[in-house]
Amino acid sequence: MKRMLHLIAVGISLLLLTGIAAAQIGGVLVYGGSVTGTISATSPLMIYNFAGNAGDTITLRAIPLNPGTELAITLLSPSQQLVATGDRDPFLPTSTDARVDARLAETGQYSVLIGGVNGSAGDFLLRLDARFAVAAQQLIAGTPSVADFSIIPTAQIFNLLTADITQLNVRALTAGFGFNLQLRNTNGALIAVIDGLPQASLTIPGAGMYEISVVPTNPDLTGSVELVVGTGIAQAAPTTAPQVVAPAPTDRCTVSSSGSVNIRSGAGTNFTVIGSLNAGQYLDVTGVVADRTWYAVNTGSGQGWVAASVVSLNGPCNNLSVVQSPTAVPVAATATQANNAAPTATEQTNNVAPTATQPAPTATTAAPAAPIDNDYSVALDRNSGGQFSDVISYPDGDRSDRVSARVENFDSVNTFAQFNVTVVCNGTGAEFVRWGTTPNSQNLSCNSSVNMIFTTDSNNNSVFISLPDGSGQAYVNYTIIYVRTN
């Protein structure tokens, strides 16, 4: 099955050589608007575009419309560099929505890729919200600043430059006045939310420039909110008030949970419980078993294991190493129990079972297999470039592809073109994917880029992409994006 995709000017048109396209062009997004789309076996990736301006802060939310559908979002800049990726909304633990927050660094056409997680499919609603660049007030340690909402309930923005972990104390100065506060890092990623509280303390996680936006919970009420940077702790809020969402680290892969879950000495419910991960806490992830049912974590005093079905991943987790669980004498185990047995609902120590949309995977569940296919050819427009998408899997199915590209519209004057080539991946086992420009130089990972030069005398360049021997169970949708740079 061969496919050819053309990217002409801003719009994208899809031309099939044979068969059905693996990627489908979803259209154009606008700020404040939404579109619907469908992920299917024949179209595992949807691509959208929107016009953005430098300094805008945007939120993309992909909302599944079918039970069991899990989605991932990838945002690419006008130069097709990776801006952000995201799957489950970290601030809505029970939601299956996928979310990406980012501050745009340049003006131009951005690309949004929507794909299914673990081969899932279904309908979805994609929404794009934005806030234009606004002037911000500077917070100074020890000096109170006030967000005044006595006239209009427009969000007020503050900047905080800190060289270390810092405490931010916030309280309403007006009785009965609640507020929503959002903390973002320098890239615009949302790292903490306070909603509905009259007062709270928040730990700024480390050095850097942070943005704090404050808006009334009820826009019909007037009042003011005080912000103080320092080490003091604000008075505890009433126990009936909503809970502060603790900020997740953004520079490393961690796990968290909405309730208390067991930490075990190995990857299985037949291993000893050595501790617990409580709500609001985070543990660094050091690896994952091959079938991705258990994560290895750093407990601070050594290695532990938590079940994937009862925790959420946070931060950059696309390149986790596959690690082997220790072997040990099972605790109260029968002869038929395996060390990688899937956890039961009671693995969550507060007896809150995983939701219906988060079934516990088992070692016997087979991943889908990519169909065996031929090499591909991509025709590029000399001025605009092009895109190509397909799927590979491991250990069964098609595990490698060769994608050859050539420029269609060279002429006697225009005989040269240079393209930036980026491979973007979604799905189970994306961290195992390797690619390169020759069969023996596949040392690049997903979201990496290279430059390719095409001339009338040398008008055929290839990308070789594969899941190498020893990859864990994988089913990966990939997209190769060609953008003209010279």
| Rounded Cα gap, residues 392 and 443, in angstroms | 17
Can you tell me the distance from the alpha carbon of 220 to that of 152, in angstroms, rounded to the nearest whole number?
Answer: 9
The overall average pLDDT reported for the chain is 77
Distance CA 161, CA 206 (A): 10
Give the distance from CA 454 to its chain's centroid.
33
Q: How far apart are CA 19 and CA 478, in angstroms?
A: 18
- DSSP states of 370-390 as a string? BPP---EEEEEBTTTBEEEEE
Q: Tell me: do 398 and 421 sit in the same domain.
A: yes
Q: What is the pTM of this model?
A: 0.46
CATH number of residue 461's parent domain: 2.60.120
Same domain, 284 and 307: yes
Q: Is the residue at 358 inside a domain?
A: no
- Residue 436 and residue 438: Cα distance in Å, rounded? 6
Q: Say whether pLDDT at 91 is over 70.
A: no
**Together in a domain, 38 and 83:** yes
Question: What pLDDT does 465 receive?
Answer: 94
The CA radius of gyration of the chain, in Å to the nearest whole number, is 24
- Provide φ and ψ at 220, rounded to 5°: -85, -10
Residue 87 domain flag:
yes
Residues 142, 116 within the same domain: no
Q: What domain count does the chain have?
A: 4
Could you tell me whether strands 179-184 and 145-148 are parallel, antiparallel, or unpaired per DSSP bridges? Answer: unpaired
CATH number for the domain spanning 268: value is: 2.30.30.40
At residue 78, the 3 state secondary structure works out as coil
Mean pLDDT over 367-387 rounds to 80
DSSP 3-state assignment of 174? coil
142 plus 113 within the same structural domain: no
* Amino acid code (one letter) for 485: T
pLDDT band at 11 (very low <50, low <70, confident <90, very high): very low
**Is there a domain that residue 184 lies in?**
yes
Given this model, what pLDDT does residue 328 score? 52
pLDDT of residue 313: 82
Q: Pairing between strand 156-162 and 137-138?
A: parallel
- Indicate whether 203 and 309 sit together in one domain: no
Q: 285 and 182, same structural domain?
A: no
Statement to judge: residues 185 and 268 lie in one domain: no
pLDDT grade, residue 23 (50/70/90)?
low
Residue 298 and residue 209 in one domain: no
- Asked if pLDDT for residue 128 goes beyond 50, the answer is yes
**Domain containing residue 181: CATH number:** 2.60.120.380
**Higher-scoring residue by pLDDT: 340, 412:** 412
CA dihedral (74, 77, 80, 84) positive or negative = negative
pLDDT reported for residue 355: 37
Q: Are residues 389 and 462 both part of a single domain?
A: yes
> Which pLDDT tens digit goes with each residue over 392-437?
999 888 999 999 999 988 888 888 888 888 888 877 888 889 999 8
Q: Does the pLDDT at position 291 exceed 80?
A: no
Q: Which domain holds residue 202?
A: 137-230
Identify whether residues 225 and 324 lie together within a single domain: no
Confidence of residue 369 (pLDDT cuts 50, 70, 90): confident
Q: How far is residue 230's CA from residue 140's CA, in Å, rounded to a whole number?
A: 9
Assess whether pLDDT exceeds 50 at residue 20.
Answer: no
Asked whether 202 and 158 are in contact (CB, 8 A), the reply is no
